[in-house]
């Protein structure tokens, strides 16, 4: 009797599930924060709430950079094996 664990490359399959879940949900969430920051910056600037607008813009910029970093790291990981 062959156990399923010996057939399936469990470690690789679990890593695939973890990486895809973290990357898929993580990048979407961070990009949503970037959009939230950009939209709030526009609204708050129109209301002349400069400090809060600055925080929203900073959040948008950091989130956007994080998304770009995630994409670059993903491609580097892909090409490293």
Partner 1 sequence: MESDLIVVIVVATALAFDFTNGFHDTANVVATSISTRAMAPRVAVGYAAILNFAGAFLSLAVAATIANDVVDPAAVSLLAVFGGLVGAITWNLITWYFGLPSSSSHALIGGIVGATLVANGADAVFFEKGVVGKVMIPALVAPTLAFLVAGTSILVLYRIVARLRPSPVSRGFRAGQIVSGGLLALAHGTNDAQKTMGVITLALIANGSLGAGADPPTWVIASSALAIALGTYSGGWRIIKTTGTRIIKMDAAQGFTSQGAGAAVILASTHFGFPLSTTHVINGGVMGAGAAKRLSAVRWGVAGNIIVAWVLTLPAAALIGAAAYGFISIFGGGAVGPVVVTVLALAAIVGAFLRRAARGAPIPVQSEGGVQA
CB of 57 to partner 1, least distance (A): 13
Work out how close the CB of 8 gets to partner 1 at its nearest, in angstroms, rounded to a whole number: 5
What lies within 8 Å, CB to CB, of 35 at 6+ separation is 60
Tell the residue number behind the tokens 């959040």, with chain if given.
59
List the x/- string, 6-45, binding to partner 1 by CB under 8 A: xxxx--xx-xxx-xxx-xxx-xxx-xxxxxx-xxx-xx--
Using rule CB under 8 A, residue 58 touches partner 1: no
Q: Quick check: 67 and 30 in contact, CB under 8 A?
A: yes
For tokens 């002349």, what's the residue? 48
Residue with structure tokens 């920051």? 37
Residues that bind partner 1 (CB under 8 A): 2, 6-9, 12-13, 15-17, 19-21, 23-25, 27-29, 31-36, 38-40, 42-43, 67, 71, 74-75, 77-79, 81
């Amino acid at each position: 009797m062959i156990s399923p664990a010996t057939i399936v490359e469990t470690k690789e399959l679990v890593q695939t599930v973890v990486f895809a879940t973290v990357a898929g949900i993580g990048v979407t969430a961070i990009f949503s924060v970037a959009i939230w920051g950009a939209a709030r910056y526009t609204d708050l600037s129109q209301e002349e709430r400069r400090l809060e607008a600055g925080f929203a813009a900073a959040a948008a910029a950091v989130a956007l950079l994080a998304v770009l970093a995630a994409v670059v790291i993903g491609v580097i990981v892909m090409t490293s094996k």
